[in-house]
Structure 1
């Protein structure tokens, strides 16, 4: 008969068990989320209304004026470059 080594079964070797109980409390709705959603909806609809009220004619006029200004600036730069070329050639 073979002798087996002694097995230590003291409580310190046993795995610790832990039980967690979670109690969910019902959430009461205060209506803040609904009010915020309605305010956001009003702001978005108002913004869309304001952006669509600008006449396309004024937008076109502003684009033409800006393009003319850019052409004027480019012409000034070309003139300055030509003047510098003439002065450096002397």
Structure 2
């Protein structure tokens, strides 16, 4: 299964292995040069490779918009060993 990921998806998975529970903003900033970053995040979340959590923003102005936090799905970790 690991070979079916494109380079951007592999970079996201590697980043989240090193930085679990990362905000979407941190992932986008760290991997800003990767093509199709938003689409890859969406695809990995839809395929249940990543789990998308939501939490409240820190400031009251942003409190109505939940922040998105990502982690690797523990059930898929063994399939992602080679990445």
For the aligned pair, the TM-score class normalised by the smaller chain equals under 0.3
Compare relative contact order (CA 8 Å, sep 6+) and give the higher one, 1 or 2: 2
The normalised TM-score by structure 1 is 0.17
Larger Rg: 1
Q: Which protein has the bigger strand share?
A: 2
The normalised TM-score by structure 2 is 0.18
